[in-house]
Amino acid sequence: MHIDTMAKRAKQVGFIATAITSAVTARFGWLQGEDVVTSIVYAVGLGLASFMVGYGLVFAWESRKRNMPYGVTIASVAIFAIAVVVEVLSHVGANASARTHDMTKASEQTNTYADTRGQLEQARADLAAMKPGRAPAQISADMARIETAKWFASTTGCTVPNPPGSGKGYKNSCDRYNALKGELAAAQTRTALAAKVEKFASTSATSSAGHSVALAQTKAIASYATWSTNPGAEDQAKTNMAITLILALYFVSLGLINLVAQAFDPEDGTTTTAQPSAEIIHPQFAQPKPVIQQVDDLSWAKSVLKATG
């Protein structure tokens, strides 16, 4: 591929790269706004910073090549320098936000999973601590038989086992009824705990601890950086900062493709094409070119006068 063609392709790649970096800075700007209007303003403003980085030095290059005033060059370089700072901050913020969001989401999922496992173990322990007993339906049936007895209403639901004027006492029957009430309460508690165990077991079976891709990357890179199989929290934090900064610098550097492409662009903006070669003819077959003698007008007039004189 000819260098001129490569320069044209590089310009196209440079524009695409600038647009990609602009999307990242625009998203970061959008998140800075407190309403739709300010979000749009920040998104457009920070998005333009990427194009200033991508074409600021190109303008400076062209201004020198065309011998324009130095003020134009200085202004182009100044715009580029300020835009670089803005874009680096935008990309650092965007990358840090994305990585932190990934880590936080995984941490929340892990905490939820741990809480579910803890509640499951507690419910199992509470259920195991209770004595086994009959089902609530059986106990309720025994209580219903007592409640249908004729004497039950006179005791006001066994709250008054020896009703005045009845001449009889129903203490033993009411003791039996109250014991059944306690047994029913215990049976209902066992049933609720069993349902809770089933619920937490089902939730635990269909969930898992959170996994953060960003955290896994950070730990792996921190391990190589510190040459340790278990890097500490401080080493991981520093590694995450370095990853964020390197990614930001990479995206910012993509805009420099435009300057490189402009440098390889032909000076006159055109490409040369090969001229067709002249036909080779043997000298003996070549036609002699007519000799055209140029005659001066004054000499020609003198010759005419002399001939007619």
pLDDT recorded at residue 302: 57
Q: Alpha-carbon distance 121 to 237, whole Å? A: 34
pLDDT recorded at residue 243: 83
Q: What is the pLDDT of residues 107-128, one digit of tens each?
A: 777 777 777 778 888 888 888 8
Q: What is the pLDDT of residues 217-232, one digit of tens each?
A: 777 878 878 888 788 8
Q: What is the pLDDT of residues 246-286, one digit of tens each?
A: 888 888 888 888 887 777 766 544 444 444 444 444 455 45
Tokens 């066994």: give the residue.
Answer: 158
Terminal CA-CA length for the chain: 76
pLDDT recorded at residue 268: 45
pLDDT recorded at residue 279: 45
pTM: 0.51
pLDDT recorded at residue 45: 87
DSSP 67: T
Residue ranges for the chain with pLDDT beneath 70 = 1-4, 7, 164-168, 205-211, 265-309
pLDDT recorded at residue 79: 87
pLDDT recorded at residue 216: 78
Helical H runs in the chain? 3-32, 36-65, 70-129, 136-147, 171-205, 213-226, 233-253, 257-263, 297-308
Structure tokens at 182: 């306690």
Q: Alpha-carbon distance 144 to 137, whole Å? A: 10
Q: Alpha-carbon distance 205 to 125, whole Å? A: 19
